[in-house]
Amino acid sequence: MSSNLVETLIGAVVIGVAAVFLIFAYTNVGARTGGGYDVVARFDRVDGLPTGADVRISGIKVGSVTAQLLDPKTYRATVHLSISAGIELPDDSSAKIASEGLLGGAYIAIEPGGSDKPLQAGGEIKYTQSSVDLMGLISRAVFGSADGSNAGGGSPAPAPANP
């Protein structure tokens, strides 16, 4: 009888600790709802940008990526962003996909524009810069450019002389 009581108490403690971890994760990961507005940005490439990635202004998180879709007509990536309620973006703001480092994750960096008109909920950030293909840049530096031009920096082959 005593061992059943001990097993029951240990089970209750484990369930209590699990509940504390769930509450902690819910409050710190940003799973709360409401208090913001959605905008759209269109990019040519969104390599490495996960759903849930940060949206930052001056390095400060002001929102997150909520969805990514492919436009079947233009074949561009449509990214839906949720921006915090206290942040009013000018309608001429720009967005680019940036990286936290060589091995870091991707996020969207927003540069606020100078317009007096704010970007409305459901609006679109018109000026965007897509992600950089790091592997493509590295392969061009190592193996030369894909078009056969002289990317190595050496002198070109001499032209044949005319008689």
Give tens-digit pLDDT for 56-114.
999 999 999 999 999 999 999 999 999 998 889 999 999 999 988 777 788 999 999 99
- Give residue 136's pLDDT: 79
Rounded percentage of the chain residues whose pLDDT exceeds 90: 45
- Please tell me whether residues 115 and 89 are part of one structural domain: yes
Residue 147 lies in a domain: no
28 lies in the same domain as 45: no
CA 62 – CA 85 distance, rounded (Å): 9
Q: How confident is the model at residue 39 (pLDDT cuts 50, 70, 90)?
A: very high
When pLDDT is cut at 50, 70 and 90, the band that residue 151 belongs to is very low
* Torsion sign (Cα): 63, 68, 69, 74: positive
The verdict on 65 and 118 lying in the same domain is yes
Q: Are residues 43 and 59 in the same domain?
A: yes
Hey, what are 31's tokens? 């799973």
Residue 98: what residue type? A
- Which class for 38: exposed (0-12), middle (13-18), buried (19 or more C-beta within 10 A)? middle
pTM of the model: 0.65
Q: What is the reported pLDDT for 131?
A: 81
Domain that holds residue 2: 1-32
24, 46: one domain: no
* Domain identity same for 58 and 127: yes
For the beta sheet containing 124-125, the strands, ordered from the edge strand earlier in sequence to the opposite edge, are 124-125, 36-43, 77-84, 60-70, 54-57, 106-111, 94-99, 127-129
Q: How far apart are CA 136 and CA 127, in angstroms?
A: 24
Q: How far apart are CA 122 and CA 53, in angstroms?
A: 19
Looking at the fold, whether 81 and 118 belong to one and the same domain comes out as: yes
Q: How far, in Å, CA of 140 to CA of 136, rounded?
A: 6
